[in-house]
C-alpha cells in the first residue's frame, strides 16, 4: 500500500472530496454507490488537466488513487464525527 502514496495528489484529492460531498448532499438523484466511480473518473480528468492533458499510466493511476481516496477520507471524517457526537 505504500507505493500508492507516491501517486497521491493532494490537489486532486481535495477537489474530488469537495465535489463528491456536493453530489452526496445536494443531488438526490445520484445513488451513493456511484460516487466513488464519479470521483475516480473526475480524478483522472483533473490529474490529466494538471499534467497538460497527458494520459500516461502515472497520471491515470494518480488520478484514480486520489479520487478514490477522497471517498475514503469522507467516510473517515463522517465516522469520526459520528463517534464524537454519540
- Mean per-residue pLDDT pooled into runs of 10, the chain (86 residues): 76 94 91 93 96 92 93 87 74
CB proximity list for 10: less than 8 A, separation 6 or greater: 66
Q: Is residue 40 part of a domain?
A: yes
Q: Is residue 1 part of a domain?
A: no
Q: Is residue 57 part of a domain?
A: yes
Predicted confidence at residue 22, as pLDDT, reads 93
Q: What angle do CA 21, 25, 26 make, to 5 degrees?
A: 110
Q: Is residue 3 part of a domain?
A: no
Structural domain including 68 reads 9-85
Predicted confidence at residue 1, as pLDDT, reads 62
Do residues 73 and 17 touch, judged by C-beta distance below 8 A?
A: yes
Give the number of domains in the chain.
1
Predicted confidence at residue 17, as pLDDT, reads 93
- Terminal alpha carbon distance of the chain: 32
Q: Is residue 29 part of a domain?
A: yes
CB proximity list for 45: less than 8 A, separation 6 or greater: 63
Q: Is residue 30 part of a domain?
A: yes
Q: Cell triple for residue 70?
A: 477522497
Predicted confidence at residue 86, as pLDDT, reads 61
Q: Is residue 64 part of a domain?
A: yes
Amino acid at each position: 500500500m505504500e507505493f500508492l502514496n507516491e501517486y497521491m495528489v493532494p490537489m486532486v484529492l481535495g477537489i474530488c472530496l469537495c465535489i463528491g460531498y456536493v453530489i452526496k448532499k445536494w443531488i438526490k438523484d445520484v445513488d451513493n454507490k456511484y460516487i466513488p466511480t464519479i470521483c475516480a473518473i473526475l480524478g483522472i480528468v483533473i490529474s490529466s488537466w494538471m499534467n497538460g492533458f497527458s494520459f500516461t499510466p502515472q497520471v491515470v493511476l494518480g488520478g484514480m488513487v486520489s479520487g478514490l481516496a477522497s471517498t475514503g477520507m469522507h467516510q473517515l471524517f463522517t465516522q469520526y464525527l459520528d463517534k464524537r457526537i454519540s
